[in-house]
Structures are given as structure tokens and as C-alpha cells.
A and B are shown apart, each in its own frame.
Chain A
């Protein structure tokens, strides 16, 4: 099991640099993946998603890459800004008729230095 008071991996970047946040997901049957951003005291905010029939999807300043072979997901943020500072969670959803539950990863804290 996990220890109480999980220590988050932290990524510290300079404003304007690109950020890459990685996530290893757990279930090979998962077919839908989402990145959420969580600022202090707020709920998870949807950033971008990708389905398992794709390996790359781009949004505004963000790109998600999916490698199903090694069960790895990454979020790339271009030209990182101070407002991007937050905890980023990947979440997966298992295929097969489930109504829903998302399985969240541990999170990575992104800190952007101005």
C-alpha cells in the first residue's frame, strides 16, 4: 500500500521553457487517458485527453503522448508560464462498459520560476 502523506515528484522549470511531465499507468485494459491540473485548494481541471487508438494529441500549448507498449503517458507544456504552476495528475479509465471511475496517478508538482 501507499504511505500516508505522499511526497510528490517535483519538476521545476524556468518561465518560457518547455515542460514534460510523465506518468506510468497501471492497467493495460485502459483505453482513455486524461491529464488534469490541480491548483492549491481547487478541484482537478481538465487539460487534455487521449484515447488508446491515438498516440499523440495536441491542444493549445499542450501535447499528450501515449505509449501503450510501455504503458506510459506524457504531458508536454510549451513555453511554460507561472500560471502553469500546479499539481498535474494523469488519470486512466478502463474499457469494458464501466460507468466510470477514473484511476488517478500520484501527481507531479510543476513549479515555474519567473
Chain B
């Protein structure tokens, strides 16, 4: 069964450093998403991406964040200058259509020291 994959599973970084979280969505999907979950809290929407551009973003997704689909398979989330409060699980999701079910990857745990 096709699934969304994410790497790395755990990323530890120093405050102020740049990180890139990587995702490989399900191959025939066209809509891509990033969510985050701070420990013990709800899953929160960050950004949606379709047709090589951002469709929608939340207030969390400020200028420090960017997304890219550098090739036909990867979808990345970059945080330019990490802050302590960026520590969270980051989940990638993909869907075949905008109104279809979103399937989530296993997440990347980001720890900012």
C-alpha cells in the first residue's frame, strides 16, 4: 500500500540554524501539506501546496518557513532560522484531490536546542 514517507525521523539542531525536512508524498497525489504538533497539543495546519505554489498557509507559517517541490517526488519544508518554539513533530500529508482524504507520513521530530 502506498504511503507518505518522511526523513529524517528525528532532527536535532541549534537555535538559529536552518533545517530542511523532507517528504515523499504518495506518487499520484497532487496536493501536499505540512502540519505540526507541539508535544501534547493538537495537530496544526501550516501550509498547503498545489501546482508548484502555496495554496494556503496559516499564521504559523511566517517568513522563516518555506516549501519546495524540487523534483517530481520530494516535498520539503525549510525553516531558515530555527527557534526553540519550533520544536515539534512535523507531519507531511498528501491527497489526490483537494477534497480527498489526506494521508499522513510518520513525522519528523524536530528538537531545537
Residues of A within 8 A of B (CB): 2, 4-6, 32, 34, 36, 41-46, 49, 89, 91, 93, 98-107
Contacts and interface: CB of A to CB of B under 8 A. Distances in A.
Contact of A100 (B48, B106, B107): B48
Contacts, number: 72
Per DSSP, chain A at the interface is loop
From B35, B44, B102, B106, residue with most partner A Cβ within 10 Å:
B102
A99 B44 contact: no
Given A99-B48, A100-B48, A102-B102, A43 B40 contact: no
Interface in B65-113: 91, 95, 98-99, 101-107
B107 A42 contact: yes
A100 B95 contact: yes
A91 B58 CA distance: 16
B55 A102 contact: no
B25 to A, nearest CB: 13
Nearest to A45: B104
A57 B104 CA distance: 22
A36 B31 CA distance: 19
A42 B50 CA distance: 25
B41 A99 contact: no
A101 B42 contact: no
A66 B4 CA distance: 29
Contacts of B18: none
Contacts of A34: 101-102
